Amino acid sequence: MQSMAVTTTTWKLALFLTLISVSLSGTLSYDIVPCKRIECPNYDVIEAGNGYEIRLYNSSVWISNSPIQDISLVEATRTGFLRLFDYIQGKNNYQQKIEMTAPVLSEVLPSDGPFCESSFVVSFYVPKVNQANPPPAKGLHVQRWKTVYAAVKQFGGFVKDTNIGEEAAALKDSIARY
């Protein structure tokens, strides 16, 4: 595999992808492939290692909420998810229903201390049919992402505020051994 730099953006996306609908749906089994049931952004697996994959995602379009201030990743993700779910149910400027996609991303902009609020941005992938002109909506914004590498680690169980740091550290450790 070619040598590649892991950027801050890649680490953010890696954490996002760790959260693929796990925080809202419960468990994620290693053999479940949500992209067979609903649309997902296209990617190629560049490397599969012990407990992780390096993926190359094609450029994509996302709809994102304004930053949510909260102490809890779980609560902020729930709040952002519900705002975005309303959006795809037609609560947008075009009153257009949009198909559900995966993954649901939760970007964490950490606070300075353990008992301070962090900022969370939750995003839905926009289906290809809507990418040229995604319906605008109050409090949401469109993000157009260029091609990006992402390190991805899947894990079972619920995403909790108490385990996400541990899972992110395990991903970072797996990559470091690579």
Q: Sketch the domain layout of the chain as residue ranges.
A: 8-177
Residues 123 and 52: their CA atoms lie apart, in Å, by 22
For residue 122, the surrounding DSSP H or E stretch is strand 118-125
Structural element, H or E, at residue 72? none
Q: What is the pTM of this model?
A: 0.79
Both tokens of 145, joined, read 């992402």
Helices within the chain (DSSP H only): 8-18, 22-25, 73-88, 164-177
Residue range 20-54, pLDDT digits in tens = 333 333 333 344 456 889 999 999 999 998 889 99
| Cα distance between residue 128 and residue 138, in whole Å | 22
Q: Give mean pLDDT, residues 10-24.
A: 40
- The domain made up of 8-177 has a fold known as Multidrug-efflux Transporter 1 Regulator Bmrr; Chain A (3.20.80)
∠ Cα 95 98 102 (to 5°):
145
Segment 95-104 mean pLDDT: 96
Asked if 157 and 23 touch (Cβ cutoff 8 Å), the reply is no
The rounded mean pLDDT for the chain is 83
Query: What is residue 13's predicted lDDT score, i.e. its pLDDT?
Result: 43
Q: What is the pLDDT of residues 149-177, one digit of tens each?
A: 999 988 888 889 999 889 989 999 988 87
Identify the pLDDT of residue 3: 38
